[in-house]
Amino acid sequence: MIPQNEFEDSTVDFEEVVQPSRTYKLDLERKRIVGYADGREAVEQAIYKALSTERYDYLIYTWNYGAEIAKLFGQPIPYVYSELKRLITEALTHDDRIESVDAFNFSHVKHKVHVQFTAHTVVGAIEIEREVIVT
């Protein structure tokens, strides 16, 4: 006799609920929280925070949050270019609002690497520029 699963013919309908992206708005110049941000502004802030937070350094964040930029210190520039692309993509695509990251453009002056890229999000494409010190 073959065991039968009593739930084999039943189907369960799930409804996916999209959470709002409303969050506290950061004023980076005055280092204060000033109101709230939503939509595109909230996604831009999330990108800034994820790239500014070193992964594994803060207990408040999960191990999936942040970027591992510190491990690039002292590395050769060609290696930094390829790794930075991977690290940025990995750090940002954990957010459900960010679908993909592409159009990377790198340049460097002495010990600073400047990277430009496009993050494709649910609120549209967002152009990002970052500078990373590698010494």
Q: Are the C-beta atoms of residues 39 and 22 closer than 8 Å to each other?
A: no
In the chain, what are the domains? 23-133 (3.10.450.40)
Mean per-residue pLDDT, 23-50:
93
Beta strands in 1-135 (DSSP E): 23-27, 32-37, 98-109, 112-121, 124-133
The count of residues in the chain is: 135
pLDDT digit string (tens) for 51-88?
999 999 999 998 889 999 999 998 888 899 999 999 99
Q: Report CA 132 to chain centroid distance, whole Å.
A: 16
Per-residue pLDDT at 8: 62
Model confidence pLDDT, tens digit, residues 89-134: 999 999 889 999 999 999 999 889 999 999 999 999 999 999 988 8
For position 134, what pLDDT does the model report?
82
